[in-house]
Amino acid sequence: MPSACPNDPRTAVLPARAVGRRVSGRLARWLLLIALAGLGLWHASPGHAATAVDLPRLEVLRTEQGLAIEFDARFELPAGVEDALQRGVALHFVAEADLVQSRWYWRDKRLAQVRRTWRLAYQPLTLNYRVSLGGLAQTYATLREALRAVQRLSAWRIGDGEDAQDADYLEFRYGLDLDQLPRPLLISIGSQPEWSLRIERTILLPPAR
């Protein structure tokens, strides 16, 4: 948690009582988050227990340029999802990260949001799998290799400047983006649990120095 600095122009104009309330509020928020994490409740989210996605690694790094994250997800495609892929349906996996500042006097403030999308497609003519990320694309011989390419990311820059300094926690989401499926398929799968490839995490950020 960024500490208040007497020479910081952002706090110098605030009355001493207001500054005290702000610090006390953020401290209380931190204590609450720590208590929830200790009870195992902070990471809980609706449907999390049924998801087929595991997230063994999610790290937040403070660098000279700001904040970056690295993650590694693990999952296998359920039979119905793999069958759709083999039949020519492209799958889109999305990672989203929000930097959030806790505020005792109002709802928490979202300082920044970043998003990455991978496109996974099967190429029947060559019997290969193609993964696209932005303007880059790579071909893989097996589905396992292609999945590993969409399941991890290193040194993903998510915030800099004041956003990185003021953020208290990170909200992270990763999974299969159902909104980009063909509409007829989306209607047919309904709420089938095997298509709910998604996981969410909320973690405290390391204090700024």
Cα end-to-end distance, the chain, whole Å:
9
Residue span of the structural domain in which 16 resides: 9-204
**Cβ–Cβ < 8 Å for 57, 70:** yes
Q: Is residue 1 part of a domain?
A: no
138 lies in some domain: yes
Digit-coded pLDDT (tens) for 3-34:
444 444 333 333 434 334 444 444 555 454 44
Does some domain include residue 2?
Answer: no
Interatomic CA distance for residues 62 and 113, integer angstroms: 17
Report the number of distinct structural domains present in the chain. Answer: 1
In a domain, 209, yes or no: no
Do the domain assignments include residue 135? yes
Confidence of residue 209 (pLDDT cuts 50, 70, 90): low
Q: By CB neighbour count within 10 A (0-12 exposed, 13-18 middle, 19+ buried), where does 162 fall?
A: middle
Number of helices (H), then strands (E), belonging to the chain: the values are 6, 9
Residue 87 lies in a domain: yes
Tell me whether residue 56 is in a domain.
yes
Question: pLDDT tens for residues 146-196?
Answer: 999 999 999 999 988 888 888 999 999 999 999 999 999 989 887 788 999
Report if residue 4 sits inside a domain.
no
